[in-house]
Amino acid sequence: MAYSDNLNKKQLEAVMHTEGPLLILAGAGSGKTSTMTHRIAYLIKEKGVDPYSILAVTFTNKAAGEMRERVEKLLGGPDTLWIMTFHAACLRILRTEAGLSRYTRDFAVYDPVDQKAVIKNIIKEYNIEEKNFPYRMLISVISKCKEAQHSPEDYRKIYEKNFNTETIYRVYKRYEEVLKKNNAMDFDDLLLNAVRLFRENEEVLSKYRKRFRYVMVDEYQDTNRIQYRLIKMLAEEHKNLCVVGDDDQCIYQWRGADISNILNFEKDFPGTKVVKLEQNYRSTGNILKAAYSVIKNNTKRKPKKLWTEAEEGSKIIYCRADDEKAEAYYVAQEIDRLCGPGRSFSDFAVLYRTNVQSRTFEEAFSARDIPYRVIGGTRYYERKEIKDMMAYMRLVQNPDDDISLMRIINEPKRGVGQKTLDKLKALASVRGQSLFSVLGDEEIMDSLQGRTGRELKGMHDAVKSYSIEKDDLKISDIYDGLLVGSGYIKALETQNATEADGRIENLMEFKSVIYDFEKEAMGEEAPSLTGFLEKIALLSDVDNHDPSENAVVLMTLHSAKGLEFDFVFMPGMEDGLFPGWRKLDEPDEMEEERRLCYVGMTRAKERLCFTGAAYRTMYGRGDYTRESSFLRELDPKLTEGDAIFRKREEVRLGEKVDLDGFSKEEPLRPFEERFSGSGNANILRKAVSEVHEKSEKKESFIAGDKVAHSKFGTGLVVSSQGKVITVIFDKAGTKKLAADIAPLKKIKE
């Protein structure tokens, strides 16, 4: 097995264990993908297993694509085994077995944007107060119900004493009716209906059990209960189930991931062999030691500790800036300094806890002409013009999809008013037909006034013609035809506006996406419109990351999982932000926050820097902060920079403590020297001074002083206590201001 010469002893042990349940505990950067792909190749090349008998599932298209490419390289060419996401695997099974379900083979898949549209329509239909029932909350409740396999009736019975139950029940029930009517499934339905299909059809389950004699699951710690049931049903007979994961990286419990799936795997599958991959190939020794000093404080974890043959490397830097602007400016200057010859801006990442933190970094990077890319913002495929054309294409795929038709019925403008729309919807409801079928009725179209009737008929005929011929046309031909036949491109061309030009550019770029799909799919099977729409629908934020783009990456810690960067900055290390205030008193949630911190730290290959702000403004409110409790868990021998405050009871045995309660190995050095050898001291000083250089020297205020504020106007100081000044302004009323940063000036009489 020469192709496995580059595997270490533990990886090879996992590769060669092929029969019976196997749990591979793969720490961050320990080569789990290499282990999985070599195991697949070993099954095929050394054990003679038919690729048709192997199923490998993961969570993102990016991970599935990387795994597929590596397997093909090891085997010397493409093969027929299934390597795909959970949703893609379930979707393929459901399409294959469509005759056994209530759906036709061409059922639509609704992504989160489509779900939002459906729920918002229901809220409007039922005159529900959206302030009391936000669409996000309703979608979340419905998703959790489906994961638990609870129907709307089950939900009402379980939560009958909750005063919100009846409204949520009505929304959930109506949502299911809309999906059924439109021959559509959401992402949760793909999993739920696959499990339901297996449970209700023993022959179908037996068919897939016999086919998939070897099942492998990546990122097993992220599986939810329904994914667990699906895998257990498939592997229950042959027991040849291999799961790969790391309980220390379970960070998606908020969206259904159940850490007990991996913690209890040995109980669920007796006779399990456990292999720990603890050698790390990504990070330096100090980064791994620091990450361990944090994660070891979790109680719900399997014992393991990463190690590396790499050098110890630089210590972890900590910078506590005055405020969030100084924090962002410091990071920008550091990136400018470190991005020298042989370095790319794409080597740097800023990983934050919440999306709102990105604003100050975007401003700081723009000011210094540092290219950056925000991952997790508005995705390319969620731009209006792209969603519009995707709706047209989905309508070609499934003419009964009312949600897609509702999106584009007046895109471009066809003069369809609300009364006309209500009339069409009422007719569709009475007839038990889809809206598209109603638009095909010539008498109804003739009854509509001039332009509206003509344009709706033209749109209907164009979509219908491509729907009939969709199996005989290239996707790119369908797309080009719809652009013209719908009148969409013409409407943009007549606007003569910069925004319209940008939208046209996006629509033309979308053709490149289609061409790439057609080219990639040619080697396997004829590229289909269905397959293309599925691929776009199943994309995630991580799939949107292009490491070849020369730009600093800004993203949340959750989005960063699975990625790696030479230099990682983790801002906002403050209690209340990371971890959040609500997490501090909840042990389970605090452990998940700690795992999230661990994930962020182990994204770094060479350098890791924590930052925080002594005073932070978020959501329009400013306040002084306390350093993150995760910073106090760091081994102080591994850090340098600003001192990290610790209570005396938190200090480890043998460490020296000064009278202020700081724990360190040597006395606190002057400000200029705190960043021993790192060159950060002057940069931080400059960052702070540049942020505040336009501010005048702060004055002291006492009660009775008349003052002027740049926003609130003139007022009178009524009290000054420490760092808080209370002022009654002539127009703005009473305000409490932070003395250090409030833009106040005394008015001399």
CA distance 591 to 596: 9
Cβ(14)–Cβ(277) under 8 Å? yes
Cβ-proximal residues to 283 (8 Å cutoff; 6+ apart), any chain: 28, 29, 291, 306, 308, 310, 313, 602, 604, 605
Owner of token pair 């999982």 = 561
| H helix and E strand count, the chain | 31, 25
CA distance 232 to 234: 5
Of 351, 408, 406, 395, which is closest to residue 375 (Cα–Cα)?
351
Owner of token pair 């007046």 = 410
388: tokens are 């519009």
684: tokens are 């931080």
Which CA distances in Å does 416 have to 182, 425, 638?
21, 12, 66
**Looking at 219, 222, 400, 633, which residue is catalytic?**
219
Owner of token pair 């938190």 = 650
Catalytic annotation on 299?
Answer: no
708: tokens are 């002027």
Catalytic annotation on 218?
Answer: yes
Catalytic annotation on 32?
Answer: yes
CA distance 542 to 63: 9
CA distance 578 to 555: 15
CA distance 110 to 88: 13
389: tokens are 């054309």
| Helices 112-125, 165-181: inter-axial angle, 10-degree rounding | 120
Catalytic annotation on 603?
Answer: yes
DSSP for 634-672 reads S-GGGEEESPPB--GGGSPTT-EE-TT-BEESSPPPPGG
**Looking at 218, 385, 455, 627, which residue is catalytic?**
218
**Looking at 13, 18, 33, 454, which residue is catalytic?**
33
102: tokens are 């209530």
| DSSP tag of 242 | E
Q: Strand, helix or coil at 683?
A: helix
Of 7, 55, 42, 48, which is closest to residue 241 (Cα–Cα)?
55
**Looking at 62, 414, 470, 603, which residue is catalytic?**
603
Question: Amino acid identity of 600?
Answer: G
Q: Strand, helix or coil at 252?
A: coil
Pairing of strands 54-58, 214-217: parallel
How would you label 273-294 residue by residue, b for 16+ Cβ within 10 Å and e otherwise?
eebbbbbbebbbbbbbbbbbbb
Q: Strand, helix or coil at 58?
A: strand
Catalytic annotation on 639?
Answer: no
**Looking at 11, 58, 223, 249, which residue is catalytic?**
249
Q: Strand, helix or coil at 717?
A: strand
- Residue 160 CB: number of other CB atoms within 10 A? 10
Question: Amino acid identity of 130?
Answer: E
116: tokens are 């939002």
Catalytic annotation on 249?
Answer: yes
Query: What Rg do the C-alpha atoms of the chain give, in angstroms?
Result: 29
- Residue 341 CB: number of other CB atoms within 10 A? 4
Of 553, 541, 546, which is closest to residue 372 (Cα–Cα)?
553
Residues carrying an active site annotation:
32-33, 218-219, 249, 603
